[in-house]
Structure 1
Amino acid sequence: MVTTVPRHKYSTDDVPDTLDALGETADWILDEFADSAVLRPQALSTALTLAQQRCAVDPQAVKFETWEAWVTAMQTGSALFAAAVAPEGTRVTCRVKDRERTLPATGPESHLNAGTWVTSFYLAMICRDNDRLRQLAEVPVSLLRDSGAVFDEYIYPWVETLQSFWLGRQDVGDKLVAAVDGTSPEALRYADADLMAKVLYPPLIVFYRVVRRDAAEFNKALADAVRWHKAYWTADEDRANHADGLVALGPLAMACLARDQGISVEVESEYLPRALLEYAWIGEIEY
């Protein structure tokens, strides 16, 4: 039985102008970010905002421009971490959008933190880029800690959970338990409890159901995750008008993983754009 979760109403009156401006900004940043310490921290967030905003008028991501925007966001996040782990004094060449970009090795930087890593990993899961997933899985957690960014402790075992899963290690269960334990209200020091409960925590439970290969419980957890996402992003007018709420990034990544593991996804929602979930644009863009 398919569960449907409609996306909340989102005004699209100004979206064409917004897309034009965002597209120009993103192109400029991507043309310059490789050698700019000022622009590098803005590159991923700008590319991801453009991808999310495209889903305002293309909720199922059926247009090529929407898929290209999601791939570009994925390429950007992965490139930043490739530069972070490169040997000091070297440069790395990474494809971003339509051409190769050469970035200097950076080591830890404030924007290369655990939150950015999770976002980048989710994007690579959505785009099914196994090479970039492996590269991200090999990023040392110590580099993320050395960013200086402040997070609740749960995020580090969550990073390790995803890394261990992708690299075939045997400690996935232990890492996931530690991550889940760290999301309890009494364990939180920095994250907003509502954000944790409705946005940050649900992907952990959906992931657990995927690795257990429990299709019924997976679909129940996925439906709950999408409903909680909707509840969070409709709690007030400001959130409802924010492009970040248009796609449930974490639940979408876990749904892509489930589908690729042979689990039928029985949740339909514009928060989970169908063309992204079904990898409909395979082979259309050079990664």
Structure 2
Amino acid sequence: MTVTVPRHVLPGGLARRAEALDKSAAWHIRQLDCSPEAFTLAFGTSSLAALTHCGEDPRAADLATWEAWVTAMQVGSALFATSTATAGTVECRIADEVRTLQAGGPQYAGNPENWISAFWLAIVCREPERLTALARVPVEVLRASGAECPGYVYPWVETLQTWWLRGGDLGASLDAAIAGTDPEGLHREDRSLMLRILYPPMNLFLFYVTADHAGFNEALADALRWHREYWTGLDEGAGNSNSLVALGPLAMACLAYDAGFPLTIESDYLPRHLFAGSWVGEFDTLSGCCLSVRGCGVSAGQE
């Protein structure tokens, strides 16, 4: 039986907001040619643009929505390619243009929480080469960003890297990540974020790797309800672009869908054409995509 988790009531003007974010993201992306520090705003605005397109286009049926998601994915991939390379230049395809960017080494934007978002975007866009490159980003590079992160973050990154590269003790790192989500000692607001937003993708991942179809569907429905509860419980949270799509659960749904799980959950928080991969292959997203590093003797994505 199909279970529908309705999205919360949205404010008006989301189409105009998406258009404005597209323009802002394009401007910040152009600044990447000048300074690696521009990644903070380039990745932030392009990610928000992708999410905001799904406000008026909840099934992601429009080409413009797919283009926005691809652009955000490409910016995230480029961010960690330039953070990993310490000298020379990196060729990255972003927004239908191959750009030559300066390798900058670790930077604040190259933090583990942005890494997780970039990984989700690469899963949604079905980009295995980018997933491999992200999985090979050393955790030390993420630590060197200087960002303060919750205790679960680094073992969660290691879990995803271990899973994708098929090496190491997946169970131990996942256990450590889940243990790091213990809400004891957190402020009420942080506890809500942990329980309703940060923990659910780990729970879904556990059901995914154990091929528990029924458990996955139940956990997915819970994750979407908690997503709605979290954002509608914040002042003006229901109008936040991050509320429009449950990004982590969406990435997990993409994995489950591709693995043949019989998904029985429907929701505008999970744009249908994104988790079904309907747009994949519509146009070239990969040529020159952060796989070529010049002047430093190391190729991104190589061990």
Shorter-chain TM-score range: over 0.9
How far residue 285 of structure 1 moved from its aligned partner, in angstroms, is 2.1
Partner of 1:60: 59
For residues 70-93 of structure 1, the C-alpha deviation after alignment (integer angstroms, 9 at most, x for no partner) is 01100100001011112x321010
Structure 2, unpaired ranges of 5+: 286-303
Instruction: Decide whether the 8 Å contact of 1:34 with 1:40 is kept in 2.
Output: no
Partner of 1:257: 255
Partner of 1:47: 46
Using the alignment, how far apart are the partners of 1:26 and 1:54 within structure 2? 13
Q: Give the 3-state SS of the residue equivalent to 1:279 in structure 2.
A: coil
How far residue 20 of structure 1 moved from its aligned partner, in angstroms, is 2.7
How far residue 15 of structure 1 moved from its aligned partner, in angstroms, is 2.3
How far residue 34 of structure 1 moved from its aligned partner, in angstroms, is 3.1
Instruction: Decide whether the 8 Å contact of 1:151 with 1:190 is kept in 2.
Output: no
Using the alignment, how far apart are the partners of 2:23 and 2:131 within structure 1? 28
For residues 217-275 of structure 1, the C-alpha deviation after alignment (integer angstroms, 9 at most, x for no partner) is 01001111111001101113410111110000000000101111121211100000000
RMSD, matched Cα: 1.5
Partner of 1:16: 15
Using the alignment, how far apart are the partners of 2:258 and 2:179 within structure 1? 28
Using the alignment, how far apart are the partners of 1:241 and 1:54 within structure 2? 13
For residues 116-137 of structure 1, the C-alpha deviation after alignment (integer angstroms, 9 at most, x for no partner) is 0000000001111000000000
How far residue 26 of structure 1 moved from its aligned partner, in angstroms, is 1.2
Using the alignment, how far apart are the partners of 1:190 and 1:146 within structure 2? 29
Using the alignment, how far apart are the partners of 1:84 and 1:175 within structure 2? 24
**Identical-residue share of aligned pairs (%):** 47
Partner of 1:214: 212
Q: Give the 3-state SS of the residue equivalent to 2:203 in structure 1.
A: helix
Instruction: Decide whether the 8 Å contact of 1:152 with 1:188 is kept in 2.
Output: no
Structure-to-structure mapping, 1:74-113, within 5 angstroms: 74-86=73-85, 88-113=86-111
Q: Give the 3-state SS of the residue equivalent to 1:59 in structure 2.
A: coil
Using the alignment, how far apart are the partners of 1:251 and 1:16 within structure 2? 24
Q: Give the 3-state SS of the residue equivalent to 1:175 in structure 2.
A: helix
Using the alignment, how far apart are the partners of 1:224 and 1:17 within structure 2? 31
Q: Give the 3-state SS of the residue equivalent to 1:282 in structure 2.
A: coil
Partner of 1:4: 4
Q: 1:142 to 1:190 in 2, by over 3 A?
A: farther
Q: Which has the higher contact order (CA 8 A, sep 6+)?
A: 2
Aligned residues: 285
How far residue 17 of structure 1 moved from its aligned partner, in angstroms, is 2.6
Q: 1:206 to 1:142 in 2, by over 3 A?
A: same
Using the alignment, how far apart are the partners of 1:246 and 1:124 within structure 2? 19
Pairing partner for 2:117 from 116, 119, 124: 119
The TM-score, its normalising length taken from structure 1, stands at: 0.96
How far residue 187 of structure 1 moved from its aligned partner, in angstroms, is 6.6
Pairing partner for 2:178 from 177, 180, 184: 180
Q: Give the 3-state SS of the residue equivalent to 2:236 in structure 1.
A: helix
Using the alignment, how far apart are the partners of 2:18 and 2:205 within structure 1? 33
Partner of 2:293: none
Instruction: Decide whether the 8 Å contact of 1:182 with 1:188 is kept in 2.
Output: no
Structure-to-structure mapping, 1:123-202, within 5 angstroms: 123-186=121-184, 192-202=190-200
How far residue 172 of structure 1 moved from its aligned partner, in angstroms, is 0.9
Using the alignment, how far apart are the partners of 1:40 and 1:202 within structure 2? 28
Structure 1, unpaired ranges of 5+: none
Instruction: Decide whether the 8 Å contact of 1:247 with 1:271 is kept in 2.
Output: yes
Using the alignment, how far apart are the partners of 1:32 and 1:286 within structure 2? 23
Q: Give the 3-state SS of the residue equivalent to 1:186 in structure 2.
A: coil
